Structure 1
Amino acid sequence: MNVQYPMDGLREARTISVVRGGRKAIAPPPESDNTPICRVRDFQMATEIPAQAEAVAGARHQLGALLACSGLSECADTVMLVTQELMVNAMVHGCGSKPTLRFIVRATHGHGRLRVEVEDPSIKQPHTRPPSPDEEGGRGLYLVDSLVTRWGTYRSKPGHGKTVWFELDLAAEEAAS
């Protein structure tokens, strides 16, 4: 899968390619280009992902590469962890682990705020519940809630399920770069 993102007046857009197994390749800018690179770049990405574990891993790596190229390495681990939680929930609960179904991941960064959305075909809304000590699952949304600035859900267009989203307000020095 390929994602292009604009760099608003800075060098040409870069393409991040993610192949099976999570290997990634980033096309670097030409060596002769002396255009300055700002520390943090705004971006938008959207990708459709099959409800398969390998695809979730590939999308997580794709997002990590995009964050690194955009100067947001400081928050990459948190973003990838929370996004993976939402993608796995979409795969297991939203798609019912049917590999023929797909979900959509969108990420945007601008004005000091990073937002990630995961849209799946199910209309069933996620909710936190206190898990018993022996349960394997049930803690993911608590993790999401503790790591992000805010999160929520909304029904997507009729017939398109729901979207679970989160936002991180980034440090003022990152937003000003």
Structure 2
Amino acid sequence: MNLQYPMAGLRGARTVSLVRGGRRAIAALSEDGGAPVCRARDFQMAAEVPAQAEAVADARRQLSLLLQRSGLSDCIDTVALVAQELMVNAMVHGCGNRAGLQFSVRAMHEHGRLRVEVEDPSIEQPHPRPPAADEEGGRGLHLVDALVTRWGTDGSVAGKTGKTVWFELDLPGEEAAS
């Protein structure tokens, strides 16, 4: 069962709820307002992100700090890049760049598997497309597919409209030790 403990927003929050070792723990945010200090390998976190470029950048930094402080530094670059791709897609395609809309980001690490989910209000499913050589877009989902263990989408849940795009990384060796 995946329990979700939402953050009180990325800016201005003083604590965040995490799950460590199967029980809930409250961790104080760092002095710089960054991710919570969490030395445990197993964790869950969730955040609501406004559909704005600055908020996407902030969410990427928060996720990177959480991974670093959780002892998962070797996968930070990959996770940050892929999560940013999914968050930008949620902002542009899922929220239509409309002010006032937001999407959710959830990350969890358990038993050597890291999973990141981005949920947005659109029911339109993402699909990789072959980009033309002179196009700026169209490569993101190919990048996602190349860098992660697996990825996919889940439709809306009962009473809610939207979709969740997720990816997982199986962490080898020492990083997988929980």
Give the TM-score taking structure 2 as reference length. Answer: 0.83
Any gaps of 5 or more consecutive residues in structure 1?
30-36
Q: Is the 8 A contact 1:16 1:65 kept in 2?
A: no
What's the counterpart of residue 54 of structure 2?
Answer: 54
Q: What's the CA shift for 1:49?
A: 0.6
CA distance in 1, matches of 2:37, 2:65: 13
Give the TM-score taking structure 1 as reference length. Answer: 0.83
Q: Which amino acid aligns with 1:69?
A: R
What's the counterpart of residue 4 of structure 2?
Answer: none
Q: What's the CA shift for 1:26?
A: 5.9
What's the counterpart of residue 163 of structure 1?
Answer: 164
Render the CA deviation track for 1:91-134: whole Å, top value 9, x for unaligned.
00000000211100000000000000000000000001101011
Q: Is the 8 A contact 2:37 2:70 kept in 1?
A: no
Q: What's the CA shift for 1:159?
A: 3.3
Q: Is the 8 A contact 2:49 2:102 kept in 1?
A: yes
Q: What's the CA shift for 1:13?
A: 4.5
CA distance in 1, matches of 2:19, 2:70: 10
CA distance in 2, matches of 1:26, 1:49: 15
Q: 1:4 aligns with which of 10, 17, 40?
A: 17
Residues 98 and 134 (structure 1), Cα distance of their counterparts in 2 relative to 1, 3 Å cut: same
1:142 equivalent to 2:155? Answer no
Q: What's the CA shift for 1:25?
A: 3.9
Q: Which structure has the greater CA radius of gyration?
A: 1
What pairs with 1:127-138 in structure 2 (closer than 5 Å)? Answer: 127-138=127-138
Q: Which amino acid aligns with 2:17?
A: Q
What's the counterpart of residue 34 of structure 1?
Answer: none
CA distance in 1, matches of 2:20, 2:48: 23
Q: What's the CA shift for 1:174?
A: 1.8
Q: What's the CA shift for 1:17?
A: 5.7
Any gaps of 5 or more consecutive residues in structure 2?
1-9
* TM-align CA RMSD: 2.2
Q: Which amino acid aligns with 1:160?
A: T
What pairs with 1:1-177 in structure 2 (closer than 5 Å)? Answer: 1=10, 2=13, 3-8=16-21, 13-16=26-29, 24-25=33-34, 41-157=41-157, 158-177=159-178
Render the CA deviation track for 1:23-45: whole Å, top value 9, x for unaligned.
6446769xxxxxxx6xx511000
CA distance in 2, matches of 1:126, 1:107: 20
Range with bigger deviation, 154-163 or 111-120: 154-163
Q: Is the 8 A contact 2:37 2:69 kept in 1?
A: no
